[in-house]
Every structure is written in C-alpha cells, then in structure tokens.
Amino acid sequence: MTRIQYQECIDACIKTMNTCNYSYVSSLKEYHLEELRESIRLDRECADICSFAIQAMTRQSPFVVQILRLCADICEACADESSKHVHRHCRSCIEACRECAAACRMISETVEVYA
C-alpha cells in the first residue's frame, strides 16, 4: 500500500471531518437544539477520529488498519444518528460518513495487520 493508494481514503476522511464539524457548528445554532444532543456529540466524535485517521495515514502508521476500522465504525454510527434528522447539514453527514466508512473498510480489508 503506497501513499497514492491511501489518497482516496484520506480525501474521504477530510470531507467527513469537514462535513461533521460543519454540522456540529450548524446544530449548535438550530432553534430546536434539544433534538440534536446526540447528533452534536457524534459529529465531534466523528470529526476527531477522522482527524486522527488522516494523520495516521499520512505518517504511515503501522496501526492504520485498526485505526481505519474504528473510523468506519464511528462514521456509521454518525450516519445512523444523522439519518434521524431533516436538516440539510445532517443529510450531508449521512452521505459523507457512509462514503468514508466504505473507503476505510476497503483499505482495512486489503492491508495486513501489523504484528
């Protein structure tokens, strides 16, 4: 697995971090804020693991497979939570998170685990 091959996954993680952080900020401005408690929390979780995964891929971490599996899990949880809401920023999260989860799983299934 070379730097080039990671690029698609890095891009997906950047897009998801961006989308989740935008949804986080937007949610905190919504009128019916009380419906978005869990969404705000998961947006931050998802942005944080995406940020961590991006760094890990660019420094060729020996643990990139395990980190991307975790990233995929959190992206899927964030997509599920976002799908309960009708706001446009929540809908954007669903798409970005699902694509990112798929990109993470593709790499984590084709690279051998560090041992």
Binding site for a second copy (CB under 8 A): 3, 10, 14, 17-18, 21-22, 24-25, 28-29, 33-34, 37, 40-42, 44-45, 47-49, 51-52, 54-56, 58-63, 66-67, 70, 73-74, 77, 114
CB 80 to a second copy: min, Å:
10
CB within 8 Å of 28: residues ≥ 6 apart? 40
CB 8 to a second copy: min, Å:
14
The length of the chain, given as a count of residues: 115
> Which CB, 24 or 98, lies closer to a second copy?
24
Q: What are the distances in angstroms from CA 115 to CA 20, 32, 89?
A: 33, 48, 40
Instruction: Give the orientation angle of helix 3-27 with respect to helix 64-82, to 10 degrees.
Output: 30
- Cα–Cα nearest to 66, from 102, 107, 97: 107
> Which CB, 37 or 110, lies closer to a second copy?
37
CB 72 to a second copy: min, Å:
11
- Count of other CB atoms within 10 angstroms of residue 57: 22
> Which CB, 17 or 94, lies closer to a second copy?
17
CB 41 to a second copy: min, Å:
6
